[in-house]
Structure 1
Amino acid sequence: MISLLLVCVLAASALAATPPSKANNTVNTFAGPLKYNEDWGYSLIRTGAHTFWWLYAAEQADENRPLFMWLQGGPGSSSTGYGNFQELGPKTMTDEDNQATWLQLGDLIFVDNPVGTGFSYVESNSQYTTNVAEIGNDLVTWAIDFFSVHPEYRTRPFFIVCESYGGKMTAEFAAQLHLAVSAGVIPLTKFKGVGLGDSWISAMDYVNTWGEYLYAQSYLDEQQLDRVNTKAASCQSLVDSGKWSQATNCWSAMEELIEIETDGVSWYNVLKQGDSDAWSAAIKTNRIDTRTHVEKLYDRHVRPLQLDALDNYMDTVIRNKLGIIPDNVHFGAQSGMVFNKQSGDFMTPNWATVDKLLSYGLQVTVFNGQLDLICDTIGTERWINRLTWKGLDQYKAATKKPFKTKSFPLAGYTKTYQNFQMIYILRAGHMVAHDTEESGLFVLQSMIDRAK
């Protein structure tokens, strides 16, 4: 891990980021019309490694208006693309208003991370990251740059919210950021905490519960359940032996088995079929599948978020709007390499990092969609039970309370103790902000309220 002193040195070059490029806009939200400005730029986080970010800021704001940072999963899926235009940004790809935009509750900063994702890019293969520790260090360097360019956010509440593999990255980044703030490297006075949405925090807790979850949902019978659990046990053995690359391959093979046993259930919403997943694609083309396990994982979990329409929109309309994207950089072109470079770290758990965040006194909100398979709620509860946080027993004994939204009298449940909260989201799959817009806003409002 790069030392904080070296991070400070690296930040000196990062301060040469592109000057702000403002654009005024209005969006009609559930809370009414909102005028906002935009800013975007590149941060040079290491020699040859460039991180792209995009900020949306309410025109009228006070010192209590929070800033929410969004980190997409993958790794290799774009925050400024998918998260922005498909989930929680103010506009859609057709320039229509997103009434459910999170901008109505706070300013938004989208970061294409790790380097090589979206419009972020590296100049050589040696500059990709290979694990979440390196990703976290890059994000701390980015934060030094961003809070220098936008010092108004140094004293406003700051949260990091994420989805999927973004959870591993968020936990690590938050831990490193806390240490940087404590050491005086970043003058951030109100770093409040994180929101971990359907997050890949503990791979084997998900792999080991897929069979149980699918059996309860009637996708598997007892014989199929036995086959799935047997395969999961072989993956667990590899993890126990520290054979991380082989464990990644086993995870991929486990997914293939489930796709066969269920006739292609969607990994992101069990009420749907995964038409873009590896097994379905192989059936439709009636071909022999010669891809590696890592290539199959990429096709299941990153490629579906790199939609042709989105790629084209980002590489034409948005490229022209931004005016700073280098000619040789194309949206998402490096995402496959980003995914491949991280593959040795896919199966390593980091619930212990979440433990650190709780011990630091940061607010930790975990939220999970009821219909998500890849990060099913059973698996999430398993890694929560692994925490050594001193408040765990009291949290487990706490009463689970229902919450409602305008559309649903019963939208989900919350369970809270001190600085930890779990939010169970009914009717949502992996992408909560997309599937249940009002519940996504509930999560955000809950984080704001608890941090006061």
Structure 2
Amino acid sequence: MGRYHFALFLLFMFLIPLISNGAMAAGTVDGSEQWGYVEVRPKAHMFWWYYKSPQRTQDPNNPWPIILWLQGGPEVGPLDTFLKPRNSTWLQKADLLFVDNPVGTGYSFVEDDSLFAKTDEEAPADLVTLLISLFNSDEVLQKSPLYVVAESYGGKWAVLLGLSALKAIEAETLKLNLKGIVLGDTWLSPEDFVFSWAPLLKDVSRLDNKGVEKAKNLTQNIKQQIDQGEYEAATNSYFELEEVIDAYSNSLDFYNFLLDSALDPLSTTTVELSQKVKSKRNSRYLASLRSVPGGEADLNTLMNGVLKEKLKIIPEDVQWGGQAGSVFMAHAEEFMKPRINEVDELLAKGVNVTIYSGQADLICSTKGTEAWVAKLKWEGIQTFLSLNRSPLYCGGEKGTKGFTKSLRNLHFYWILNAGHYVDELLAKGVNVTNYSGQAGRPTDFFKHEQKSIVLWG
């Protein structure tokens, strides 16, 4: 979108009260976008932004889906960071609901530092409050199947949100059609991930024997601390492990172990936020809030400049991402806790759980993901693990793009040539499909009831 057209767009902005419980929201004249704040707790304000797909249909037999993105979603939105239309947006296949979660990230904010969510359970509870505010008063939204999609640390909140939402739905306090949880390169079992790092990096020649030995000593410390419930100590040991890997790998990129961190904008743009954190080294999960893939325009300048002006409802003293460092510090006790049991609960309740993993991701490595999946106690897990994988292809392009296998409501996708932010790569593809050797028919990444939908390309 050029500067002239964007200026015209701003002229047609107006504020409207959309939520009846006291929360104010705004939107575009044509109704294609709505955004606002929900006060999820006194003085704790959560920001949301809803995009309605121009392809949305009103077929009652095939209701249009909504994707709730909890963690960024690089390159899935309708515009790039130069405000130009993005042809590969996931908006072509679903409505998109972005939420700055937990309070303190993005445009979300608290009026008192004591109000940051301090546990993994508190953040999803705030999200349920937001969903009640948005969905209970809108029959159109209630009819749409909702898929919760999250990456990295957001996956822990997605799993807990799924369980909290189901409980609220059963209690009839939330009117929502939850259809699935999607976990991309998700920090579900920190122990399994940190144990995967040293052998993986040794195999790809980024660590020597001395580096492996030092890393393994620290991972043993982390395991002992987790076993004893010393989670904050485990978080501190995690920082030490990152420093060892960084030193012995010559600053490898934790998002893509085939790169140096200096070659990846997703790593080089984390410095500003990490300087705000009291610990020696901030988690790369919340640090990536200021990152922009592909060397695009500066995200911090964009969000605190022209977009803040467009939205009009952001308080003057609120800076996008301004409280992110404090959010991480509030979660220091939670950071190293596993959430495998909660995935088991979702599977047992029949919720569709889709897992995808980028081949070159280190921080949430495929090796670590496979390890925690193997620990599931779901009654179908042994059958699932014994299944053969099917290859993935990308439109008419040659070459294998990944692999997948599914059993009932559990689906796993291995995405080749991708790092931590798989959706960035997927957004550039077209109709990634799985051709089963038996059926010979395409099966798409996300399944909506008996129909398949592709969320990119």
TM-score (norm 1): 0.85
Q: Which of 352, 369, 394 is the matching residue for 2:358?
A: 369
**CA deviations over 1:271-302 (Å, ceiling 9, x no partner):** 2111399xx99xx9xxxx9997735124x443
* Greater share of helix: 1
Secondary structure at the aligned position of 2:332 is classed as: helix
CA RMSD of aligned residues (A): 2.5
Q: How many residues align?
A: 408
1:440/1:303 Cα in 2 relative to 1: closer, same or farther (>3 Å)? farther
Amino acid at match of 2:311: L
Counterparts of residues 325-404 of structure 1 (less than 5 Å): 325-404=314-393
Residue 178 of structure 1 corresponds to 166
Distance 1:254 1:408, change over 3 A: farther
1:142 — aligned with what? Answer: 130
Matching of residues 140-219 of structure 1 within 5 Å: 140-188=128-176, 190-219=177-206
Equivalent residues of 2:289, 2:321 under 8 A apart: no
Within the alignment, does 1:66 sit opposite 2:65 as a pair?
Answer: yes
The 8 Å contact of residues 137 and 176 in structure 1, kept in 2 or not, is answered as yes
The aligned counterpart of 1:27 is none
The answer as to whether partners of 1:42 and 1:53 remain within 8 angstroms in 2 is: yes
- 1:332 aligned partner, one-letter code: G
Offset at residue 150 of structure 1 (A): 3.4
Q: Does 1:240 align with 2:240?
A: no
State the match for 1:303 in structure 2: 287
- Closer, same or farther in 2 for the Cα pair 1:253/1:418, shift >3 Å? same
Pick from 276, 279, 286 the counterpart of residue 294 of structure 1. Answer: 279
SS at structure 2 position matched to 1:170: helix
In structure 1, what residue type is equivalent to 2:290? Answer: Q
Quote how far apart the aligned CAs of 1:187 are: 1.8
Q: Is the 8 A contact 2:183 2:354 kept in 1?
A: yes
Cα offset, 1:229, TM superposition: 1.4
Paired residue type of 1:372: D
- Change beyond 3 A, Cα 1:293–1:211: farther
Deviations along 1:158-199, one digit per CA (max 9) or x if unpaired, are 1000110011110011111011111111122x3111110000
Q: Percent identity?
A: 33
Q: CA deviation at 1:393?
A: 0.8
For the residues of structure 1 that align with 2:275 and 2:168, how far apart are their CA atoms?
45
Aligned match of 1:413: 403
2:28 is aligned to 22
> Aligned to 1:374, what secondary structure does the other structure show?
coil
Give the Cα separation in 1 of the matches to 2:277 and 2:248. 21
TM (norm. structure 2) is: 0.84
Which range is displaced more, 391-400 or 146-155?
146-155
d(CA) in 1 for partners of 2:131, 2:450: 21
Inter-partner Cα distance in structure 2 for 1:126 and 1:93: 33
> Counterparts of 1:91-110 in structure 2 under 5 Å?
91-110=79-98
1:436 Cα offset (Å)? 3.7
Q: Counterpart of 1:306 in structure 2: which amino acid?
A: R
Q: Do the aligned residues in 1 keep the contact of 2:183 with 2:356 (CA within 8 Å)?
A: yes
Deviations 1:350-381 (A, max 9, x none): 01101011011000000000010000000001
Letter in 1 for 2:84: E
> What is the CA-CA distance between 1:434 and the residue it aligns to?
1.3
CA distance in 2, matches of 1:14, 1:239: 44
1:299-320 CA-to-partner distances (Å, cap 9, x unmatched) read x443343159211111111111
1:104-129 CA distances to partner (integer Å, 9 max, x unpaired)?
A: 11000000000011100101012110
Alpha-carbon distance change, 292 to 104 in structure 1, aligned in 2, over 3 angstroms = closer
Structure 2: segments with no counterpart, 5+ residues = 1-18, 292-296, 434-442, 452-457
Deviation at 1:441?
6.2
> What letter matches 2:361 in structure 1?
D
